[in-house]
């Protein structure tokens, strides 16, 4: 499986510099962030041709466009529709998002999603909905299976975020196997259990930001990759981290060094 990472890891750099660092770390692809209030390496003002050129100049495939905070219950869906359109223009197979803003109102969310399902079908782009521990209709394996049953459109799949499943008590490998080919994107995102009264509960955020990098935490990625192979997953292993949890921002050199270590780790267990 191709190894990629999310551009928001380098949110402090412009896209050309971010892609150069991603390539330096050994990644083969980039997930372009288009998420208001988080990281916007691409926006509605971005040129698809220029964006493709930046990725190509660095030998990177564009594996996804991530558009969080674009499916809000209180805002028009236009920004998310743009993300689908842009993904089709740059050759990204999927758009990653979630429904955190919906406070558990799944029927209303799915109604809001209908124009996006139509456009994604027309543009041959997958909507890869991320499981999230704080979202009541996508927090657990059972939630995802229920959503998969309710939304039968072939363009609708899931982004698997292992830490968010683990802290809600769901088995990641089993979730992958049960969702099967509805798994459209995978976050290679590590975690480590913190110590609470029973000594076992996973805590969030992690005690140390480096534990997000695959190989630096304690999640069983070998079993996750085996499950992905079982369901014939065709997407990348997209390294996802939160270096922003550091009390002081990391220097670019440290981010790239940690990313390189995770690329080597994932390459070694494939």
Is the pTM higher than 0.75? Answer: yes
User: What are the residues whose beta carbons fall under 8 Å from the beta carbon of 39, sequence distance 6 or more?
Assistant: 7, 8, 11, 33
pLDDT value for 200: 47
Residue 114's pLDDT is 95
Q: What pLDDT is attached to residue 107?
A: 85
154 half-sphere exposure, CB direction, 13 A CA radius: 5
Phi, psi values for residue 168, rounded to 5°:
-105, 10
- Indicate if the alpha-carbon torsion angle 45, 49, 50, 52 is positive or negative: positive
Residue 33 DSSP SS3:
strand
Fold of 3-269: TIM Barrel (3.20.20)
**Which residues does the chain have with pLDDT short of 50?**
195-200, 247
| Gap between the Cα atoms of 27 and 270, Å rounded | 15
Half-sphere exposure (Cβ direction) of 111: Cα atoms closer than 13 Å = 6
What is the tens place of the pLDDT at every residue in 226-237?
A: 999 999 999 999
The pLDDT score that the predictor gives to residue 198 is: 45
Residue found by looking up tokens 């928001």 in the block: 8
* DSSP one-letter string for 110-163: HHHHHHHHHHHHHHT-EEEEEP-TT-TTTSSHHHHHHHHHH---TTEEEEE-HH
**Per-domain residue ranges of the chain:** 3-269
């Amino acid at each position: 499986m191709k190894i990629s990472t999310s551009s928001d890891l380098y949110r402090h750099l412009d896209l050309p510099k971010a892609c150069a660092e991603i390539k330096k770390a050994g990644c083969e692809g980039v997930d372009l962030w288009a998420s208001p209030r988080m990281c916007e390496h691409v926006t509605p003002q971005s040129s698809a041709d220029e964006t493709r050129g930046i990725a190509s100049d660095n030998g990177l495939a564009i594996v996804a466009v991530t558009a969080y905070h674009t499916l809000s219950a209180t805002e028009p869906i236009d920004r998310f529709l743009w993300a689908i359109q842009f993904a089709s223009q740059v050759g990204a197979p999927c758009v990653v998002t979630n429904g955190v803003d919906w406070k558990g109102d799944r029927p209303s969310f799915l109604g809001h999603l209908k124009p996006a399902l139509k456009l994604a079908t027309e543009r041959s782009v997958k909507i890869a909905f991320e499981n999230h521990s704080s979202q009541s209709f996508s927090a657990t394996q059972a939630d995802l299976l229920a959503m998969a049953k309710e939304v039968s459109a072939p363009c609708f799949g899931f982004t698997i975020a292992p830490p968010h499943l683990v802290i809600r008590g769901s088995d990641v490998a089993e979730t992958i196997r049960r969702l099967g080919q509805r798994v459209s994107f995978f976050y290679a995102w590590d975690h480590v259990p913190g110590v609470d009264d029973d000594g076992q509960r996973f805590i969030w955020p992690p005690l140390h930001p480096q534990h997000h990098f695959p190989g630096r935490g304690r999640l069983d990625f070998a079993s996750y990759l085996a499950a992905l192979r079982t369901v014939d997953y065709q997407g990348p292993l997209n390294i996802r981290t939160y270096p922003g949890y550091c009390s002081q921002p990391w220097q670019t050199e440290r981010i790239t060094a940690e990313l390189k270590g995770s690329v080597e780790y994932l390459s070694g267990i494939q």
